[in-house]
Amino acid sequence: MKINGIRIAALLIVVTFPGGGVAFAAPGPAVIRLDYATYNPVSLVLKDKGWAEADLGKDGIKVEWTLSEGSNRALAFLNSNSIDFGSTAGAAALVSRSNGNPIYGIYIYSKPEWTALVTLPGSGISRIQDLKGKKVAATIGTDPYIFLIRSLDTVGLGLSDIELVPLQHGDGANALVRKQVDAWAGLDPHMARVQVEDGATLFYRNPEFNTYGVLNVRKEFADKYPAYVDRVISLYEKAKGYARDHRPELIAILAREGQVKPEIAKIQIDQRTDLSVSTPGDAFRGTIAAAAQVLLKGGQIRPDVDVDAVIRDYIRPGFAEVALGGK
């Protein structure tokens, strides 16, 4: 809520008892529903440690966890009111928000290089131009899909110049290995797995085309329970700090949850995951705004959408600023 333009974390209800005693209560939800994902290693730590259950349980709140296999799944869960907090890529969330999904971007869980264009040796593909007329797997509505569109755009190509094969991330990796597609817009840890186990090559990489990993909350939940949005962010920050300080354990957790070898998880964590950013600020805003321009051009965002207005409404750094004390 806001009083004189200042957001207050919780609405306190004052109850006066006979004899002058006063008690304060902040009503909360009966359950808070979080997702977890192998592309969001911080969520894996939070789930593994049980910190959300311990903290929120003090208020009698239950915690439920749902696996998200990609941004598309997390956004569908949020839109259908199946979860309250969901892990996505920033650009994927922006597209979904522009299509009416009522969500806020409240916290950065990582700044990753989690996607690239991938092929197998002997495919004859070594540059983006070689994709023309080829079968390319990607998960629609995710950062790898958006990465593919932006990559094609750099050489004057579009989706109409390739044969897009829509598959969920793990299925896309398997299709590449089985040579059912010529290339794949990859996502870790699947991308690291096919590198290690199948000799796949990342023939086009561009870290700047990877948009941030963002934690989203349903607008309805945030408007009703702002204090608990702050609590979840604080729990995430605790898990992130632990992840930074205990990298071997983080790698082991990712290997277990992702069902991959530790050396594969190590590539994702040590080489392609930056856990230093938490508040969605100007850099995040600039990254998704740049992606939006290409998506407008390609028709993935409707031409009547006021992208600047959507971004202003979507990005809500105030929650993290309150929860993290300005960090």
Tens of pLDDT, residue by residue over 207-237, are 999 999 999 999 999 999 999 999 999 999 9
3-state secondary structure 96-107: HHHCCCCEEEEE
Give the model confidence (pLDDT) of 97-131 as tens digits.
999 999 999 999 999 999 999 999 999 999 999 99
Residue 282 pLDDT > 50, yes or no?
Answer: yes
Report which of 143, 145, 139, 34 is spatially closest to residue 88, judged by C-alpha positions. Answer: 143
Three-state secondary-structure class, residue 302? coil
Residue 65 pLDDT > 80, yes or no?
Answer: yes
Residue-wise DSSP of 68-96? -SSHHHHHHHHHTTS-SEEEEEHHHHHHH
Report which of 233, 207, 219, 215 is spatially closest to residue 287, judged by C-alpha positions. Answer: 207
Q: Give the pLDDT score at 326.
A: 56
Q: Give the pLDDT score at 27.
A: 81
Three-state secondary-structure class, residue 40? strand
* pLDDT band (50, 70, 90) for residue 17: very low
**How much is the average pLDDT of 288-315?**
95
Contact 201, 183 (CB under 8 A): no
Contact 149, 125 (CB under 8 A): no
Residue 19 pLDDT > 50, yes or no?
Answer: no
The structure tokens listed for 76 are: 């569908």
Give the model confidence (pLDDT) of 310-321 as tens digits.
999 999 999 999
Give the Cα separation of 202 and 22 in Å (integer).
63
Q: 5-27 burial string, b = 16+ CB within 10 Å, else e?
A: eeeebbeeeeeeeeeeeeeeeee
Residue 171 pLDDT > 70, yes or no?
Answer: yes
Give the Cα separation of 315 and 104 in Å (integer).
6
Please give the domain boundaries of the chain with CATH numbers for all domains.
2-109+212-324 (3.40.190.10), 117-209 (3.40.190.10)
Give the Cα separation of 233 and 173 in Å (integer).
32
Q: Give the pLDDT score at 9.
A: 42
**How much is the average pLDDT of 140-168?**
97
Q: Give the pLDDT score at 327.
A: 55
Give the model confidence (pLDDT) of 85-95 as tens digits.
999 999 999 99
Tally of residues, the chain? 327
**How much is the average pLDDT of 180-184?**
98
Counting Cβ atoms within 10 Å, is residue 312 exposed (0-12), middle (13-18) or buried (19+)?
exposed
Residue 21 pLDDT > 50, yes or no?
Answer: no
The structure tokens listed for 99 are: 């299509």
Indicate the average pLDDT of the chain: 92
Give the Cα separation of 169 and 150 in Å (integer).
18
Say what the pTM is.
0.89
Contact 55, 46 (CB under 8 A): no
Give the Cα separation of 143 and 247 in Å (integer).
25
3-state secondary structure 50-65: CHHHHHHHCCCCEEEE
Q: Give the pLDDT score at 325.
A: 87
The structure tokens listed for 66 are: 């749902």
Report which of 83, 84, 86 is spatially closest to residue 40, judged by C-alpha positions. Answer: 86
295-298-303-308 Cα dihedral, nearest 10 degrees: 20
| % pLDDT > 70, the chain | 91
Three-state secondary-structure class, residue 301? coil
Counting Cβ atoms within 10 Å, is residue 248 exposed (0-12), middle (13-18) or buried (19+)?
exposed
